[in-house]
Amino acid sequence: MWEWAAAAWGEAEWPGFPSLRQEGCHSSRCAAYVQERGREGGDSVQGATDFSASPASGRLSLCPFGRNSGTRPLLVAGEAEMASLGPGMRLGWADGELGCLPGESITTSGCCQGRRRRIQTHPWACLRWCELRVPQIPDTGVSKGLSKSLGLIEGYGGRGKGGLPATLSPAEEEKAKGPHEKYGYNSYLSEKISLDRSIPDYRPTKCKELKYSKELPQISIIFIFVNEALSVILRSVHSAVNHTPTHLLKEIILVDDNSDEEELKAPLEEYVQKRYPGLVKVVRNQKREGLIRARIEGWKAATGQVTGFFDAHVEFTAGWAEPVLSRIQENRKRVILPSIDNIKQDTFEVQRYENSAHGYSWELWCMYISPPKDWWDAGDPSLPIRTPAMIGCSFVVNRKFFGEIGLLDPGMDVYGGENIELGIKVWLCGGSMEVLPCSRVAHIERKKKPYNSNIGFYTKRNALRVAEVWMDDYKSHVYIAWNLPLENPGIDIGDVSERRALRKSLKCKNFQWYLDHVYPEMRRYNNTIAYGELARYTKEGFLHLGALGTTTLLPDTRCLVDNSKSRLPQLLDCDKVKSSLYKRWNFIQNGAIMNKGTGRCLEVENRGLAGIDLILRSCTGQRWTIKNSIK
């Protein structure tokens, strides 16, 4: 037993296993500290070490003794308890310098017969009290019983280990169909996958070599859920505990947005209280608020210096937290987005996504976009990526700064648009937003969302709130994209006066600055004078058909062209038409659409049973109206 412990602590034979070492042992005191080490080896413990494990609390305590204490090496933890400890253990200080005075005894329940005394200076006080949080003790009765009673599995092995695809037997596949449809992912399969499974480390190689300060701010991790599968929520929690250093993890907050599922009530609460006592809080909304306001409730409950917001269907990669917290420590006005990998909703296989920035269309639908040119030019895939906005499933922000800039817009409903609003607001009001390739989180992209089916309406409404508060003259682009008139769009977006006042009080920049400096790739349509469901007429006389384009790196809408030969109009890339006259049209509302180069008109020909054709011919007086206009 002693040999096993010595190998684990002294030679670090377990990847990522923490080793404890003492150094600087002076006449009055010494410092013991924790260093994470991999297979390259570690340092042996100097002096005696007392371990005690408590499966019920999931914690293991130890007391390192200095060379002057005169206490012989002692190992008192039960063999079954020690054997169950795995490489996911983390060390963290508890209450600063605490320890045992000479002559006091050591017991299996802890140091000093449970008495802990703060030490100033003492000839034999060369020690420090430490605490080791054990993320999981899968082989002990208490822990195993907790998960087993819920029909779940703990430990590092089993199906889906290492992020590989998990499978079901034909009989199980049949049982899985209903839950799969219900949740939008294979929840039946999820119950067969360990809550503690490992996932691939897709960080760039350089990230694994970087070193970070030990004095980083603590984080409150906030998960939002509504009618989520219990196994998926708990895997998110286990993964957060397993892969976040103990001394950096202030708490985990689960915000239940008024779920209906019984397993998310007492069973969930009892599990986290027994499994992670004092670490995990459950906050319950009395009515369904939607993701946006639920996140605000999570922020209110948080006490950490930094708050991290995540969907409750994620898994964390080792080392995800340190780079995030380091960047925020350097500049509290940074909003940090871990790089996202994909968990396939049918097999739970973890797939690597390429490094990306997060952008959006003029409807304010979010999307992945290529990182900016200066990032590519640097040639270092570990560098932060400037991003105009965020996808929304995970972001980390200094708690106080988030409050100063007005959190998320509480006037928005459900979700959609709040991620774009935050990106715009942060950039305009003195902050920045970036994706960190050195921090990775895997996320399930569900086939079905838990909120009601009218999400398109809420996204549209929320987008108009963003446009009216933050986009200045470019707000017309959002209305064009949704094909809504600028005046009386028929959607009540609520009162935005408080959000406008917030912008004024923060002395934020204008949206033009944002487009020029943060999102220059975004296409602009300032030449539009009329727009309808499919068409857009410009000041230059171009008639564009199709939805608005997004970035300059992607194809734009195409121009209607009269090549003077064909009876049928053509849709071509605007910049590839040789004669500009062939793509220019004269048009006034309730008038003809006439090509400037040929003099022919765009008209409709009724062919009876054969249908209606759009043709080019000599003008017969047909008149056109494009639905909306910009004054």
Tell me: the pLDDT tens digits for 208-262? 999 999 899 999 999 999 999 999 999 999 999 999 999 999 999 999 999 999 9
The whole-angstrom separation of Cα 54 and Cα 339 is 36
Those residues whose C-beta lies under 8 Å from the C-beta of residue 443, and which sit 6 or more positions away, are 311, 313, 314, 340, 341, 342, 343, 393, 394
Percent of the chain with pLDDT over 70: 71
> With bands split at pLDDT 50, 70 and 90, how would you rate the model's confidence at 577?
confident
Which residue did the predictor score with more confidence, 92 or 528? 528
Which residue did the predictor score with more confidence, 613 or 375? 375
Which residue did the predictor score with more confidence, 577 or 534? 577
Write down the pLDDT at residue 268.
97
Q: Comparing C-alpha atoms, which of 53, 239, 23 is closest to residue 131?
A: 53
The whole-angstrom separation of Cα 52 and Cα 606 is 88
Write down the pLDDT at residue 475.
93
> With bands split at pLDDT 50, 70 and 90, how would you rate the model's confidence at 540?
low
Write down the pLDDT at residue 556.
59
pLDDT tens-digit series, residues 54-112: 333 333 334 333 333 333 222 222 222 222 333 333 323 233 323 333 333 333 333 33
pLDDT tens-digit series, residues 313-336: 999 999 999 999 999 999 999 999
Average pLDDT of the chain?
77
> With bands split at pLDDT 50, 70 and 90, how would you rate the model's confidence at 532?
low
The whole-angstrom separation of Cα 569 and Cα 585 is 12
DSSP of 266-313, one letter per residue?
HHHHHHHHHHSTTTEEEEE-SS---HHHHHHHHHHH--SSEEEEEESS
Order of strands, edge to edge, in the sheet holding 593-595? Answer: 585-587, 593-595, 601-606, 612-617
CATH topology of domain 170-444: Spore Coat Polysaccharide Biosynthesis Protein SpsA; Chain A (3.90.550)
Question: Which of 14-23, 400-409, 514-523 has the least mean pLDDT?
Answer: 14-23
Evaluate whether 100 touches 57 at the Cβ level (below 8 Å).
no
User: Does the CA dihedral 142-144-148-152 come out positive or negative?
Assistant: positive
pLDDT tens-digit series, residues 463-507: 999 999 999 999 988 988 888 888 888 999 999 999 999 999 999
Burial class (CB in 10 A: 0-12, 13-18, 19+), 365: middle
Neighbouring CB atoms inside 10 A of 112's CB total: 19
Write down the pLDDT at residue 260.
94
Give the DSSP H or E segment for 143.
helix 141-149
Mean pLDDT of all residues in 543-559: 57
Pairing of strands 306-311, 314-316: unpaired
Number of H helices, E strands in the chain: 16, 30
Amino acid at position 388, single letter:
P
pLDDT tens-digit series, residues 165-222: 999 999 999 999 999 999 999 999 999 999 999 999 999 999 999 999 989 999 999 9
Tokens, residue 288: 């369904």
Write down the pLDDT at residue 275.
92
DSSP of 605-625, one letter per residue?
EE-GGG-EEEEEES-----B-
- Range 202-233 burial, b when 16+ CB lie within 10 A, else e: bbbeebeeeebeeebbbbbbbbbbbbbbbbbb
Which residue did the predictor score with more confidence, 587 or 88? 587
Write down the pLDDT at residue 555.
55
Question: Which of 274-283, 290-299, 408-417, 473-482 has the least mean pLDDT?
Answer: 473-482
Pairing of strands 350-351, 366-369: unpaired
- The yes or no reply on domain 528-629 and CATH 2.30.30.100 is no
Evaluate whether 61 touches 110 at the Cβ level (below 8 Å).
yes
Burial class (CB in 10 A: 0-12, 13-18, 19+), 425: buried
Q: Comparing C-alpha atoms, which of 101, 98, 116 is closest to residue 70?
A: 101
**Where in the chain are the domains?**
2-133, 170-444, 528-629
Evaluate whether 224 touches 284 at the Cβ level (below 8 Å).
no
- Range 530-552 burial, b when 16+ CB lie within 10 A, else e: bbeeebbbbeebbbbeebbbbbe
